[in-house]
Structures are given as C-alpha cells and as structure tokens.
Amino acid sequence: MERQQEVAVGERLLGHIDGRTTDLAGAMFRNPVSAYFDHDRAAVERERLFRDQPIFMGLAARLAKPGDYVTEDVAGMPVLMIRSADGQVKAFVNICRHRGAPVARGCGNARAFTCPYHGWSYDLGGKLLGTTDKTGFAGLHLAAHGLLRLPAVERHGMLFVRPNPVQQGETVEIDIDAGLGAFAADLAALRLETYRLASTDRVSPRINWKVAIDTFLESYHIPYLHHKTVAPFFVGNCGTFDGAGPHGRLCLALASLAEVRGVPEGAREHRPHLFPIYQLFPNTVLIPHFDHIQFWRAFPGRGDPSRCDVEMTIYKPADTDRSDAHYAENRSIVLRTVMEEDFPLSERMQIGFECGATDEVIYGRNEPALVHFHASIRTALGRSA
Ligand code: FES
Ligand SMILES: [Fe+2]
C-alpha cells in the first residue's frame, strides 16, 4: 500500500475500534456445504480456477539465474518452470513426449533436460534435441515433439503460470497487471524482486483447499480459537476490506494501533500496527510483514476434494541484518498457530460438512473477505449457487 492508503486504512481501523465495528459485506452469504466436498464441483473448479487462472508460483528468487528450474504439480498438472538462457521465464508441461515420464525432478540448475526413462533430451526452450534410438523413431518430427508450453510470466518479482497447455495460435503471455487491477501498484511497492527464500513448509491436511484459504480471511475467530497464542496481538473481529476483481485485501488492526492516538494526525505512522492479508485469486494468500513476507498456497488433493496440499513459504529481504534464528522463530510461531490450532479444527469442520446433517454454511457481513472470495469463485465457475 502507498502511504496515503496506509493512513486511510489505519484511520478506518481506529474508527472501527472506537465504534466496536468492522467493514461489512452487503449481505450474508450462504454456501452449500457440498462446495467443500462434491466431486463434480471439484472438477469444475479444477478447470475454471486451476487451469484458466494464472497461479502464483513463488518469487523470482526461485529462478535466480539462467538454467534454474523448479517443478511442481499444480492441481494435477506437472509443471516445469525455467529461466531460459535469455533470462526469460518459461513454463512447460513436465512430461516427456515419448511415454510421459517427468523430464525434471525437484529444482536445480540445468543446461538441458534428459528424460530418466529412455534418455530423450530437451533444451531450455523445450525443444526435443534427439531420441536415443534413431531406428526406432526414424521419421519422427522432432520439432513437433518438444515439451508442451504453458503461459507464464514474471511480474513485480512474482512468478505465475497458467497450467493449461498453449494451443496453436494462443499467446504465451499473461497480462498480470490487468488481472491484479488496483492491487498491481500495492504488489509493485513491496519490491518482491529483492526478497530471498527463507523457508518452505508443506502439509496435506484432510480439508478442502478452500477451507485452508478461509482460515486467513477473517479475524472474527482470533479471540476465540487463538486465545492462548496470537489473540493478544490483534483486535478481534475488526478489519477493513477492499476488493480488486476477484482478489481481496483484508487489513487487520494490531492491538498496538492504539499507540498512534497520541500522535497528531498528519504525523501518524500506522504501518507497523497494520496486518494486511492479500488474497490472490484463486489459491494464494500473501502477508507482508515488516521484515519478511509470508505466502500460503492451497491446492486441491489429487482425486480427493476432501484433502489439499498447503505450502507456506517465508521470504526475507536480500539485505536483511536479521539472524536466521529470528526467521526460524517467526516460522515456528506461525506453524504452531496454523498447524496446531486452525487446521486441526478445520479437519473437524470438514467431517461436519460431509456428515449430511446440514446443507449450508453462512459467512456473516462481518466476514467480507470470505463473502468476496466465495462470490468470486461462484462467478468464475458460472454458477448461481
Ligand atoms: S519416457 Fe522419456 S524417453 Fe521414454
Ligand atoms: Fe486462525
């Protein structure tokens, strides 16, 4: 956020604290519980959300130099993302055109990729360099059997891929700024290209991927569920909400925001007392802290809408003078809160959704980020409920 916006959001929050209010959605929103476990719904989500939308793949530091690559399964699509020799970020489907083995594993730096199964090799541009048995594949048109290309982009220090192979005549470009709308300036201001990876943690809780995202989209639960951990740091059930297309920005008030009241209005520094949470549609949550940035991504479990894969990454400024121990401590507080308080309760909720006793859940007007998230999903899926 730019300073002017920080001041506006900070003052909005002070008003809410005084009036014991919070930003409100226009109306309550009811969602069928089946949205959290139905296989047909999950299949449509996969197409409309995890094939049609650009998916955040981490910060540019993951692909620092030419030849660097990462591999990931994105909602069932094996993705290979590369910084090619010319410095451009490119993405491919990570399957060999012979019989489908992955041509790369994990992450690293390479000049070419050699399939582990029968040794076919591909260059950093995805071109098939050759087969290992010339007779068996005589006449095979090498140029037509390169790795399948996926649209990808590097923007504001962030990597995105659209996990849907490019068809003939389609562009490999993604216009991220158009998609991010008003938040493009916020993300540019974070200077994410200056950050380096500090830690990555992955878990596979027994919950639908949307429950994992829901966890971050309201502060209503903080005084209740987190009363033994982080509750003292926050003003519960108090936040501002702004939407930009399907994306959302929730800003919570830290309890310390009260300190700025002693400062004349023009000189107030609100930022250290704000806790912004960006929800990047569809499956990413970005939390910019003062000395690090935290990302959460949730992916639907393969073939099972009742499971998901969640990743938390922490990035730190390249020039930080904070110790590794500082970041390790930060990581452990977050993991304790989310993995030991939020997700265990979420797993019980998932059982509740599936038991058949209730038809719907209700997101209150005091939970505008949740309302916006689920309304945006409904719009993207082209559904009325
Ligand atoms: S599957 Fe890759 S070379 Fe055979
Ligand atoms: Fe929580």
* pLDDT over 80 at 385, yes or no: no
Locate the ligand 1 atom nearest the alpha carbon of residue 99 and give its number: 1
Domains and CATH numbers, the chain: 3-50+183-381 (3.90.380.10), 55-173 (2.102.10.10)
Which secondary-structure segment (H or E) carries 234? strand 234-244
**Ligand 1 binding site (Cβ under 6 Å of any ligand atom):** 96, 98-99, 101, 115, 117-120
The reported pLDDT for the residue numbered 290 is: 85
Q: E strands within 19-134?
A: 29-32, 55-59, 68-74, 77-83, 89-93, 107-109, 112-114, 121-123, 128-130
Provide the token pair at 207. Answer: 């919950």
Neighbours of 227 (CB within 10 A): 12
Mean pLDDT of 111-119: 98
* Of the candidates 44, 40, 90, 30, the residue with the CA atom closest to the CA atom of residue 63: 90
Which residue from 93, 105, 113, 117 has its CB within 8 A of the most atoms of ligand 1, so it is best to mutate? 117
Over residues 257-280, the pLDDT tens digits come to 999 999 998 899 999 999 999 999
Q: Whose CA is nearest to atom 1 of ligand 1?
A: 99
- pLDDT category of residue 383 using cuts at 50, 70 and 90: confident
Computed from CA positions of residues 231, 237, 242, 245, in that sequence, does the dihedral angle turn out positive or negative? positive
What contacts 201, CB < 8 A, 6 or more positions away?
A: 311, 312, 313, 331, 335
- pLDDT category of residue 131 using cuts at 50, 70 and 90: very high
- pLDDT category of residue 169 using cuts at 50, 70 and 90: confident
Give one DSSP letter per residue of 176-199, joined into a string: HHHHHTTHHHHHHHTTGGGEEEEE
Over residues 134-168, the pLDDT tens digits come to 999 999 999 999 999 999 999 999 999 999 999 88
* Of the candidates 336, 332, 339, the residue with the CA atom closest to the CA atom of residue 228: 336
Neighbours of 383 (CB within 10 A): 12
d(C-alpha 321, C-alpha 291), whole Å: 10
The reported pLDDT for the residue numbered 2 is: 84
Percent of the chain past pLDDT 90, that is, above it, reads: 91
The reported pLDDT for the residue numbered 107 is: 97
* pLDDT over 80 at 384, yes or no: no
Mean pLDDT of 127-137: 95
Strands 121-123 and 68-74, by their bridges, are unpaired
Task: Please state the pTM of the whole predicted model.
Answer: 0.96
* pLDDT over 80 at 369, yes or no: yes
Q: Cα-atom radius of gyration of the chain, to the nearest Å?
A: 22
CB 253 within 8 A of CB 13: yes
Over residues 43-69, the pLDDT tens digits come to 999 999 999 999 999 999 999 999 999
Q: Whose CA is nearest to atom 4 of ligand 1?
A: 118
The reported pLDDT for the residue numbered 3 is: 86
Mean pLDDT of 194-209: 97
Over residues 68-83, the pLDDT tens digits come to 999 999 999 999 999 9
Q: What mean pLDDT, rounded, does the chain reach? A: 96
Provide the token pair at 228. Answer: 């033994």
- pLDDT category of residue 171 using cuts at 50, 70 and 90: confident
Question: Helix, strand, coil % (nearest 5) of the chain?
Answer: 35, 30, 35
